[in-house]
A and B are shown apart, each in its own frame.
Chain A
């Protein structure tokens, strides 16, 4: 589904990624772990197409397409979902309006007719229920006044509604209490644990991986993957720290 080859990327002319290789197949859950400054968030932003994150070398193919030839909104419409570590507040635009726009933009991209208001609301209710989020929250402006945990849950509701092929989730577990962590973990499983979908979790900690069991764990350090393994690698990292494992 996603094949990253020798990816180099810079932010403000400073090289961050230095030869990242990663292949993710449908049906798989991968986790990227690593110390602060290793390039974890940069990986997500580069794949999502954030302005200012410049690819200097290498390639990424997403379902057979050159990912870097697509604009950010085209990447999203092609099935890539980037979960934000810090979801952005959009004052004055309600979650429901935002999500209906987003879903219908993606449908338009695929020459599908827009969902009617009624159809959309039914879908939104179902996905909000999955994340135990009150519909009243979705009537409020996007992320404005939401707690850290509510923002992350709102992101999972977005993911449920948009139904992507690949979710890249950047520290979805940060800012979550134990209950919210479980709800988000279960949400990710319910939405994304399917044979035709894949997940890339970017995280510091093992704890999210207790709920969303990865098939592969990678250690990112110095802008490249220095070690890969199964779920046991995450446990070893938790025990020995990055220095012990990645050395």
Chain B
């Protein structure tokens, strides 16, 4: 019998274990193999619960995954990607949480052969007493030289009681590797909000405008950019 995880496990540290209990046992991850030289694109809109996707990119394959993670109580998206030689993985994600919700995106990217690239960009917006977390692990195997991996995680807190976590983890066994990661957690610019108000824009609308601008780049390059952006906007407006 598989028991529920505890907070001692890094990848579950910020999870809502109470909510998880009602979802247990979790379904297996959807497993997708992208053949050598092939292309794969997926847009995921999660409105609650756990979504798991496991990708294997064979040599030269490309995958672009864009996700919108919103929670009724608990929303978690887990993505694993295993990259063979010269493969390219792109993840653009937005997560929005309010009230006492918990939203998290957990990724594991394995560069197991040389010259693969992975780029991950996640934008979180958290209000109320909610928690938005991003756990991103990048593993580079011995011999996977020429790896180029990046993680960019930014979070905007709408209330001082909200929480955002960003935890990049690098495990690198190759020498010639580029792995960049950056994270920033902040609040909406008060000067900007006043500037918008001084031109007649209502406070909630002003916040929505600035937040839309904040999350927009995460959906750049998505085939379903318009749909994702519209869904994110609707969720943002409900959150404000």
Contacts and interface: CB of A to CB of B under 8 A. Distances in A.
Contacts of A11: none
A90 interface: yes
Interface string A96-140: 011101110110010000000000000000000000000000000
A4 interface: no
Interface size class of A (residues with CB under 8 A): 20 to 34
B191, B200, B216 interface centre (most CB from chain A within 10 Å): B200
B213 A50 contact: no
Contacts of A77: 200
Contact of B202 (A103, A105, A162): A105
A105 B200 contact: yes
A82 B198 CA distance: 7
Interface in A180-239: none
Main DSSP-derived SS at the B contact region: helix
A101 B197 contact: no
Contacts, number: 78
Contacts of A109: 200
Interface string B101-123: 00000000000000000000000
B111 to A, nearest CB: 31
Nearest to B197: A72
Nearest to B214: A92
Nearest to B213: A92
A93 B210 CA distance: 7
Interface string B168-193: 00000000000000000000011110
B24 interface: no
A88 B209 contact: no
A51 interface: yes
A39 interface: no
A72 B194 contact: yes
A101 B201 contact: yes
A99 B196 CA distance: 9
A73 B212 CA distance: 20
A51 B213 contact: no
Given A76-B200, A92-B214, A98-B196, A105 B191 contact: no
A196 to B, nearest CB: 19
B199 A88 contact: no
Nearest to A72: B197
A91 interface: yes
